[in-house]
Chains A and B, each alone.
Chain A
Protein backbone atom coordinates (compact mmCIF):
# COMPACT_ATOMS: atom_id res chain seq x y z
CA UNK A 1 0.00 0.00 0.00
CA UNK A 2 1.44 3.28 -1.09
CA UNK A 3 1.26 6.34 1.18
CA UNK A 4 -1.08 9.10 0.04
CA UNK A 5 0.70 11.92 -1.71
CA UNK A 6 -0.18 15.37 -0.36
CA UNK A 7 -2.48 17.13 -2.77
CA UNK A 8 -0.96 20.43 -3.80
CA UNK A 9 -2.92 22.95 -5.82
CA UNK A 10 -1.53 23.45 -9.29
CA UNK A 11 0.85 26.46 -9.44
CA UNK A 12 0.16 29.44 -11.64
CA UNK A 13 0.89 28.82 -15.21
CA UNK A 14 3.55 30.74 -17.07
CA UNK A 15 0.92 32.98 -18.70
CA UNK A 16 -0.65 33.76 -15.35
CA UNK A 17 2.70 34.70 -13.91
CA UNK A 18 3.42 36.94 -16.88
CA UNK A 19 0.07 38.65 -16.46
CA UNK A 20 0.69 39.10 -12.76
CA UNK A 21 4.09 40.60 -13.42
CA UNK A 22 2.65 42.95 -16.01
CA UNK A 23 -0.10 44.05 -13.65
CA UNK A 24 2.47 44.64 -10.92
CA UNK A 25 4.63 46.67 -13.29
CA UNK A 26 1.59 48.70 -14.37
CA UNK A 27 0.67 49.36 -10.76
CA UNK A 28 4.19 50.46 -9.94
CA UNK A 29 4.31 52.70 -12.98
CA UNK A 30 0.98 54.27 -12.02
CA UNK A 31 2.24 54.77 -8.49
CA UNK A 32 5.39 56.48 -9.77
CA UNK A 33 3.30 58.68 -12.05
CA UNK A 34 1.08 59.69 -9.13
CA UNK A 35 4.14 60.40 -7.03
CA UNK A 36 5.71 62.51 -9.80
CA UNK A 37 2.47 64.45 -10.19
CA UNK A 38 2.37 65.10 -6.48
CA UNK A 39 5.97 66.38 -6.51
CA UNK A 40 5.24 68.65 -9.48
CA UNK A 41 2.13 70.08 -7.82
CA UNK A 42 4.01 70.67 -4.57
CA UNK A 43 6.81 72.51 -6.34
CA UNK A 44 4.40 74.60 -8.40
CA UNK A 45 2.52 75.58 -5.23
CA UNK A 46 5.78 76.31 -3.39
CA UNK A 47 7.02 78.46 -6.27
CA UNK A 48 3.76 80.41 -6.31
CA UNK A 49 3.93 80.85 -2.53
CA UNK A 50 7.54 81.98 -2.77
CA UNK A 51 6.65 84.55 -5.42
CA UNK A 52 3.69 85.79 -3.36
CA UNK A 53 5.86 86.11 -0.24
CA UNK A 54 8.55 88.01 -2.15
CA UNK A 55 5.89 90.25 -3.72
CA UNK A 56 4.36 91.09 -0.34
CA UNK A 57 7.80 91.69 1.15
CA UNK A 58 8.86 94.09 -1.60
CA UNK A 59 5.42 95.74 -1.59
CA UNK A 60 5.52 96.42 2.14
CA UNK A 61 9.10 97.66 1.89
CA UNK A 62 8.11 100.03 -0.91
CA UNK A 63 4.91 101.23 0.73
CA UNK A 64 6.58 101.85 4.07
CA UNK A 65 9.21 104.05 2.44
CA UNK A 66 12.13 101.75 3.24
CA UNK A 67 12.81 100.69 -0.30
CA UNK A 68 16.54 100.90 -1.14
CA UNK A 69 15.91 102.48 -4.54
CA UNK A 70 13.66 105.13 -3.07
CA UNK A 71 16.02 105.92 -0.24
CA UNK A 72 18.93 106.26 -2.67
CA UNK A 73 17.04 108.49 -5.10
CA UNK A 74 15.60 110.60 -2.29
CA UNK A 75 19.05 111.07 -0.78
CA UNK A 76 20.45 112.04 -4.18
CA UNK A 77 17.64 114.53 -4.73
CA UNK A 78 17.99 116.07 -1.31
CA UNK A 79 21.74 116.50 -1.70
CA UNK A 80 21.39 118.16 -5.11
CA UNK A 81 18.64 120.44 -3.88
CA UNK A 82 20.65 121.30 -0.80
CA UNK A 83 23.52 122.30 -3.05
CA UNK A 84 21.14 124.34 -5.19
CA UNK A 85 19.72 126.02 -2.11
CA UNK A 86 23.19 126.85 -0.87
CA UNK A 87 24.00 128.39 -4.23
CA UNK A 88 20.89 130.58 -4.18
CA UNK A 89 20.27 133.52 -1.86
CA UNK A 90 20.94 132.61 1.73
CA UNK A 91 18.42 135.13 3.20
CA UNK A 92 15.38 133.24 1.87
CA UNK A 93 16.52 129.92 3.14
CA UNK A 94 13.61 129.29 5.53
CA UNK A 95 10.84 129.97 3.07
CA UNK A 96 12.82 128.29 0.33
CA UNK A 97 13.06 125.01 2.16
CA UNK A 98 9.31 124.80 2.45
CA UNK A 99 8.89 125.34 -1.24
CA UNK A 100 11.53 122.79 -2.05
CA UNK A 101 9.89 120.12 0.03
CA UNK A 102 6.75 120.52 -2.03
CA UNK A 103 8.75 120.45 -5.23
CA UNK A 104 10.40 117.20 -4.00
CA UNK A 105 7.11 115.46 -3.94
CA UNK A 106 6.27 116.75 -7.39
CA UNK A 107 9.62 115.54 -8.64
CA UNK A 108 9.25 112.22 -7.01
CA UNK A 109 5.87 111.78 -8.68
CA UNK A 110 7.55 112.24 -12.01
CA UNK A 111 10.57 110.03 -11.47
CA UNK A 112 8.50 106.93 -11.02
CA UNK A 113 9.86 104.50 -8.45
CA UNK A 114 10.19 107.07 -5.75
CA UNK A 115 6.58 108.21 -5.66
CA UNK A 116 5.53 105.86 -2.91
CA UNK A 117 7.42 107.41 -0.06
CA UNK A 118 4.63 107.40 2.46
CA UNK A 119 6.97 108.71 5.10
CA UNK A 120 7.20 111.97 3.17
CA UNK A 121 3.49 112.35 2.62
Chain B
Protein backbone atom coordinates (compact mmCIF):
# COMPACT_ATOMS: atom_id res chain seq x y z
CA UNK B 1 0.00 0.00 0.00
CA UNK B 2 2.77 2.40 0.98
CA UNK B 3 4.67 1.46 -2.20
CA UNK B 4 1.61 2.32 -4.25
CA UNK B 5 1.29 5.63 -2.43
CA UNK B 6 4.94 6.34 -3.05
CA UNK B 7 4.60 5.46 -6.74
CA UNK B 8 1.51 7.59 -7.16
CA UNK B 9 3.16 10.57 -5.45
CA UNK B 10 6.23 10.08 -7.63
CA UNK B 11 4.04 9.99 -10.73
CA UNK B 12 2.26 13.14 -9.57
CA UNK B 13 5.60 14.87 -9.10
CA UNK B 14 6.78 13.81 -12.55
CA UNK B 15 3.56 14.96 -14.19
CA UNK B 16 3.72 18.28 -12.35
CA UNK B 17 7.39 18.89 -13.10
CA UNK B 18 7.18 17.55 -16.64
CA UNK B 19 6.93 20.92 -18.40
CA UNK B 20 9.97 22.12 -16.43
CA UNK B 21 12.32 19.27 -17.28
CA UNK B 22 14.29 21.38 -19.75
CA UNK B 23 14.59 24.19 -17.25
CA UNK B 24 15.75 21.82 -14.50
CA UNK B 25 18.19 20.21 -16.93
CA UNK B 26 19.63 23.60 -17.83
CA UNK B 27 20.03 24.63 -14.20
CA UNK B 28 21.60 21.32 -13.22
CA UNK B 29 24.00 21.50 -16.16
CA UNK B 30 24.89 25.08 -15.21
CA UNK B 31 25.70 24.02 -11.64
CA UNK B 32 27.75 21.09 -12.93
CA UNK B 33 29.59 23.40 -15.35
CA UNK B 34 30.42 25.85 -12.56
CA UNK B 35 31.98 23.12 -10.41
CA UNK B 36 33.74 21.38 -13.31
CA UNK B 37 35.20 24.60 -14.71
CA UNK B 38 36.45 25.62 -11.26
CA UNK B 39 38.08 22.23 -10.82
CA UNK B 40 39.61 22.50 -14.29
CA UNK B 41 41.05 25.96 -13.60
CA UNK B 42 42.38 24.70 -10.27
CA UNK B 43 44.14 21.74 -11.89
CA UNK B 44 45.40 23.96 -14.70
CA UNK B 45 46.97 26.33 -12.19
CA UNK B 46 48.44 23.44 -10.23
CA UNK B 47 50.16 22.21 -13.40
CA UNK B 48 52.54 25.12 -13.11
CA UNK B 49 53.67 23.97 -9.66
CA UNK B 50 55.64 20.94 -8.73
CA UNK B 51 53.55 18.74 -6.50
CA UNK B 52 54.82 15.74 -4.64
CA UNK B 53 53.17 12.46 -5.59
CA UNK B 54 51.32 13.90 -8.59
CA UNK B 55 52.78 13.39 -12.01
CA UNK B 56 52.62 16.04 -14.69
CA UNK B 57 50.95 13.84 -17.31
CA UNK B 58 48.22 12.89 -14.83
CA UNK B 59 47.46 16.54 -14.15
CA UNK B 60 47.44 17.28 -17.87
CA UNK B 61 44.97 14.46 -18.60
CA UNK B 62 42.80 15.52 -15.65
CA UNK B 63 42.81 19.14 -16.80
CA UNK B 64 41.91 18.16 -20.35
CA UNK B 65 39.10 15.80 -19.26
CA UNK B 66 37.67 18.39 -16.86
CA UNK B 67 37.74 21.05 -19.58
CA UNK B 68 35.92 18.83 -22.04
CA UNK B 69 33.38 17.86 -19.38
CA UNK B 70 32.85 21.57 -18.67
CA UNK B 71 32.22 22.30 -22.35
CA UNK B 72 29.75 19.40 -22.57
CA UNK B 73 27.91 20.65 -19.47
CA UNK B 74 27.82 24.17 -20.91
CA UNK B 75 26.43 22.86 -24.20
CA UNK B 76 23.67 21.04 -22.30
CA UNK B 77 23.09 24.19 -20.18
CA UNK B 78 22.46 26.30 -23.28
CA UNK B 79 20.75 23.79 -25.54
CA UNK B 80 18.30 22.66 -22.86
CA UNK B 81 16.92 26.19 -22.77
CA UNK B 82 15.76 25.75 -26.37
CA UNK B 83 13.18 23.25 -25.14
CA UNK B 84 11.88 25.43 -22.34
CA UNK B 85 8.35 26.56 -23.16
CA UNK B 86 8.39 29.48 -20.73
CA UNK B 87 11.46 31.34 -21.98
CA UNK B 88 10.92 30.42 -25.67
CA UNK B 89 14.53 31.13 -26.60
CA UNK B 90 15.86 30.62 -30.10
CA UNK B 91 19.29 29.34 -31.13
CA UNK B 92 20.31 32.95 -31.79
CA UNK B 93 19.19 33.98 -28.31
CA UNK B 94 21.43 31.42 -26.65
CA UNK B 95 24.43 31.75 -28.93
CA UNK B 96 24.71 35.42 -29.89
CA UNK B 97 25.48 38.02 -27.19
CA UNK B 98 22.91 40.80 -26.73
CA UNK B 99 20.40 39.02 -29.00
CA UNK B 100 18.12 37.82 -26.23
CA UNK B 101 15.67 40.10 -24.48
CA UNK B 102 15.77 38.00 -21.30
CA UNK B 103 18.17 39.56 -18.76
CA UNK B 104 20.27 40.70 -21.69
CA UNK B 105 23.42 41.71 -19.81
CA UNK B 106 23.74 38.56 -17.69
CA UNK B 107 22.77 36.26 -20.56
CA UNK B 108 25.33 37.94 -22.82
CA UNK B 109 27.98 37.57 -20.11
CA UNK B 110 27.28 33.85 -20.05
CA UNK B 111 27.37 33.54 -23.84
CA UNK B 112 30.65 35.44 -24.10
CA UNK B 113 32.10 33.32 -21.29
CA UNK B 114 31.06 30.14 -23.09
CA UNK B 115 32.57 31.11 -26.44
CA UNK B 116 35.76 32.32 -24.80
CA UNK B 117 36.08 29.12 -22.76
CA UNK B 118 35.41 27.00 -25.82
CA UNK B 119 37.95 28.91 -27.91
CA UNK B 120 40.69 28.91 -25.27
CA UNK B 121 40.10 25.27 -24.33
CA UNK B 122 39.84 23.84 -27.83
CA UNK B 123 42.81 25.88 -29.05
CA UNK B 124 44.89 23.28 -27.19
CA UNK B 125 44.41 20.97 -30.16
CA UNK B 126 45.69 23.64 -32.52
CA UNK B 127 48.64 24.76 -30.37
CA UNK B 128 51.23 23.54 -32.85
CA UNK B 129 49.56 25.56 -35.55
CA UNK B 130 49.16 28.63 -33.29
CA UNK B 131 52.62 28.26 -31.79
CA UNK B 132 53.11 26.83 -28.32
CA UNK B 133 54.39 30.07 -26.77
CA UNK B 134 51.59 32.15 -28.23
CA UNK B 135 49.05 29.51 -27.24
CA UNK B 136 50.28 29.54 -23.63
CA UNK B 137 49.86 33.30 -23.49
CA UNK B 138 46.35 33.02 -24.97
CA UNK B 139 45.41 30.15 -22.70
CA UNK B 140 45.91 32.35 -19.63
CA UNK B 141 42.80 34.30 -20.64
CA UNK B 142 40.74 31.19 -19.86
CA UNK B 143 40.77 32.36 -16.25
CA UNK B 144 39.00 35.57 -17.32
CA UNK B 145 36.36 33.56 -19.18
CA UNK B 146 35.90 31.43 -16.07
CA UNK B 147 35.46 34.57 -13.95
CA UNK B 148 32.88 35.86 -16.45
CA UNK B 149 31.04 32.57 -16.08
CA UNK B 150 30.95 32.99 -12.31
CA UNK B 151 29.62 36.54 -12.73
CA UNK B 152 26.93 35.13 -15.04
CA UNK B 153 25.93 32.45 -12.54
CA UNK B 154 25.75 34.92 -9.66
CA UNK B 155 23.93 37.55 -11.71
CA UNK B 156 21.42 35.40 -13.57
CA UNK B 157 21.36 32.09 -11.74
CA UNK B 158 17.95 31.22 -10.34
CA UNK B 159 19.58 29.82 -7.22
CA UNK B 160 22.06 32.67 -6.82
CA UNK B 161 20.38 33.99 -3.70
CA UNK B 162 20.24 30.59 -2.03
CA UNK B 163 22.60 29.85 0.82
CA UNK B 164 23.47 26.38 -0.47
CA UNK B 165 24.37 27.81 -3.88
CA UNK B 166 26.55 30.55 -2.42
CA UNK B 167 28.28 28.04 -0.12
CA UNK B 168 28.84 25.65 -3.02
CA UNK B 169 30.18 28.45 -5.21
CA UNK B 170 32.53 29.59 -2.45
CA UNK B 171 33.86 26.06 -1.96
CA UNK B 172 34.27 25.50 -5.70
CA UNK B 173 35.62 28.92 -6.62
CA UNK B 174 37.76 29.63 -3.53
CA UNK B 175 40.78 27.38 -4.18
CA UNK B 176 41.29 28.30 -7.86
CA UNK B 177 40.76 31.97 -7.03
CA UNK B 178 43.49 31.79 -4.37
CA UNK B 179 45.79 29.99 -6.80
CA UNK B 180 45.03 32.55 -9.48
CA UNK B 181 45.76 35.47 -7.15
CA UNK B 182 49.02 33.82 -6.09
CA UNK B 183 49.97 33.37 -9.74
CA UNK B 184 49.17 36.99 -10.56
CA UNK B 185 51.08 38.29 -7.55
CA UNK B 186 54.08 36.12 -8.40
CA UNK B 187 54.04 37.10 -12.04
CA UNK B 188 53.66 40.83 -11.32
CA UNK B 189 56.46 40.97 -8.72
CA UNK B 190 59.98 40.43 -10.04
CA UNK B 191 61.39 37.06 -9.03
CA UNK B 192 64.42 37.12 -6.69
CA UNK B 193 66.45 35.22 -9.29
CA UNK B 194 66.15 37.95 -11.88
CA UNK B 195 66.69 40.88 -9.48
CA UNK B 196 70.35 41.74 -9.43
CA UNK B 197 71.26 38.69 -11.44
CA UNK B 198 74.04 39.29 -13.89
CA UNK B 199 72.92 39.28 -17.48
CA UNK B 200 73.98 36.29 -19.46
A58-71 vs B: 1/0 string, CB under 8 Å? 11001100011100
* Interface assignment of B57: CB less than 8 Å from any CB of chain A: yes
B65 CB to nearest chain A CB (Å): 4
Q: Which of B16-24, B100-108, B112-120, B143-151 contacts A (4 or more CB under 8 A)?
A: B16-24
A43 to B69: give the CA distance in the assembly, Å.
8
Cβ 8 A contact of A67, one of B28, B62, B85, B158: B158
Assess the A115–B16 pair: CB atoms within 8 A.
yes
Asked if B158 and A55 make an inter-chain contact with CB atoms under 8 angstroms apart, the answer reads: no
Smallest beta-carbon distance B77→chain A, Å: 10
Which residues of A in the span 71-121 have a Cβ within 8 Å of any Cβ on B? Answer: 111-113, 115-116, 118
Number of interface residues of A (CB under 8 A): 27
Whole-angstrom CA separation of A25 from B69 in the bound complex: 31
Chain B residues with CB under 8 A of A63: 13, 16-17
The reply to whether A47 and B72 form a contact with Cβ atoms under 8 Å apart is yes
**If the complex has contacts A47-B36, A47-B72, A62-B20, are A36 and B61 also in contact, measured as CB distance less than 8 A?**
yes
Complex alpha-carbon distance, A35 and B35, angstroms: 24
Instruction: Output the nearest chain A residue to B86 by Cβ-Cβ distance.
Output: A112
Residue among B13, B57, B84 with most chain A CB within 10 A: B13
Tell me the complex Cα distance, A12–B36, Å: 51
For residue A54, CB closer than 8 A to chain B, the reply is yes
Q: Which of B16, B66, B158 contacts A43 (CB 8 A)?
A: B66
B69 and A54 contacting across the interface, CB-CB below 8 Å: no
Cα distance A35–B62 when bound, in Å? 11
User: In the assembled complex, which residues on chain B have CB atoms less than 8 Å from the CB atom of A116?
Assistant: 16-17, 20
The 10 closest A-B pairs by CB, nearest first: A112-B86, A54-B28, A55-B28, A47-B69, A43-B65, A54-B31, A51-B32, A36-B61, A50-B32, A40-B65
- B contact residues vs A (CB 8 Å cutoff): 13, 16-17, 19-20, 23-25, 27-29, 31-32, 35-36, 57-58, 61-62, 65-66, 69, 72-73, 76, 84-86, 158-159, 161-162
* 29 chain-A/chain-B pairs, Cβ below 8 angstroms: A32-B57, A35-B58, A35-B61, A39-B58, A40-B61, A47-B32, A47-B69, A50-B32, A51-B73, A51-B76, A52-B28, A54-B31, A55-B24, A55-B28, A58-B28, A58-B159, A59-B17, A62-B17, A63-B13, A63-B16, A63-B17, A67-B158, A68-B158, A112-B84, A112-B86, A113-B20, A113-B86, A115-B16, A115-B19
